[in-house]
Structure 1
Amino acid sequence: MTTTAVPSWTVGDITVHRVDETPLPPATGPWLLPGATPDLVAGQGWLHPDFADPDGTLRLDSHTFAFAVDGLRVLVDTGIGNGKERANPAWHRLDTDYPRTLAAAGFPPESVDLVILTHLHADHVGWNTREVDGSWVPTFPRARYLTSRVEREFWASYDMDEARAQMFRDSVVPVEEAGLLDLVDVPAEGVDVAPGVRLIPTPGHTPGHVAVELTSRGRTALVTGDCVHHPVQLAHPSVGACVDIDPDRAEATRRALLGSLAGTDTLLLGTHFAPPTAGRVVSHDDGYRLSPA
Structure 2
Amino acid sequence: MPATSATAPSWTVGDLTIHRIDEIALPAHTGAWLLPAATPELVTEQRWLHPDFAEADGTLNLNSHTFAATIDGLRVLIDTGIGNGKTRANPAWNNLDTDYLQRLVAAGYPPESIDLVVLTHLHTDHVGWNTHQHNDTWVPTFPNARYLTSSTEWQFWADYDMDQPRRQMFDDSIHPINDAGLLDILDVPDSGLDVVPGLRLLPTPGHTPGHLAVQLSSRDHTALITGDCIHHPVQFADPTIGSCVDIDPGQAETSRRALLQSLTGTDTLILGTHFPPPSTGFVVNNETTYRLIPTSD
**TM-score category of the 2 structures, normalised to the smaller one:** over 0.9
Structure 1: where are the runs of 5+ without partners? Answer: none
Q: Is the 8 A contact 2:3 2:10 kept in 1?
A: yes
CA distance in 1, matches of 2:144, 2:160: 30
Query: CA offsets, 1:223-256, max 9 Å, x none?
Result: 0000000000000000000000000000011001
Query: CA offsets, 1:170-215, max 9 Å, x none?
Result: 0000000000000011111100011110000000000000000011
Query: 2:129 is paired with a residue of what secondary structure?
Result: helix
Query: 1:2 is paired with a residue of what secondary structure?
Result: strand
Task: Tell me the equivalent position of 1:110.
Answer: 112
* RMSD of aligned Cα (Å): 0.5
Query: CA offsets, 1:29-83, max 9 Å, x none?
Result: 0000000000000000000000000000000000000000121000000000000
TM-score, normalised with respect to structure 2: 0.98
Structure 2: where are the runs of 5+ without partners? Answer: none
CA distance in 2, matches of 1:9, 1:168: 33
The offset of 1:2, in angstroms, is 1.5
Task: Tell me the equivalent position of 1:159.
Answer: 161
AA paired with 2:251? R
CA distance in 1, matches of 2:154, 2:248: 16
Task: Tell me the equivalent position of 1:231.
Answer: 233
CA distance in 1, matches of 2:113, 2:198: 20
CA distance in 2, matches of 1:262, 1:235: 13
Query: 2:276 is paired with a residue of what secondary structure?
Result: coil
CA distance in 2, matches of 1:214, 1:184: 18
Q: Which runs of 4+ in 1 moved over 4 A?
A: none
Task: Tell me the equivalent position of 1:4.
Answer: 5
Q: Alignment partner for residue 221 of structure 1, among 220, 223, 226?
A: 223
Task: Tell me the equivalent position of 2:43.
Answer: 41
Q: Alignment partner for residue 267 of structure 1, among 241, 266, 269?
A: 269
How many residue pairs end up in the alignment? 293
AA paired with 1:213? Q
CA distance in 2, matches of 1:255, 1:2: 29
User: 2:122 aligned with 1:120, yes or no?
Assistant: yes
Query: CA offsets, 1:125-167, max 9 Å, x none?
Result: 0000000010000000000000001001100000000000000
CA distance in 1, matches of 2:143, 2:206: 31
- Percent of counterpart pairs with the same letter? 68
Query: 2:3 is paired with a residue of what secondary structure?
Result: coil
CA distance in 2, matches of 1:12, 1:184: 27
CA distance in 2, matches of 1:187, 1:181: 19
Q: Alignment partner for residue 81 of structure 2, among 79, 85, 88?
A: 79
CA distance in 1, matches of 2:291, 2:91: 31
Query: CA offsets, 1:238-277, max 9 Å, x none?
Result: 0000000000000011001101110000000000000000
The offset of 1:111, in angstroms, is 0.4
Q: Is the 8 A contact 2:3 2:12 kept in 1?
A: no
TM-score, normalised with respect to structure 1: 0.99
User: 2:26 aligned with 1:30, yes or no?
Assistant: no
Q: Is the 8 A contact 2:55 2:61 kept in 1?
A: yes
CA distance in 1, matches of 2:4, 2:241: 33
Query: 2:103 is paired with a residue of what secondary structure?
Result: helix
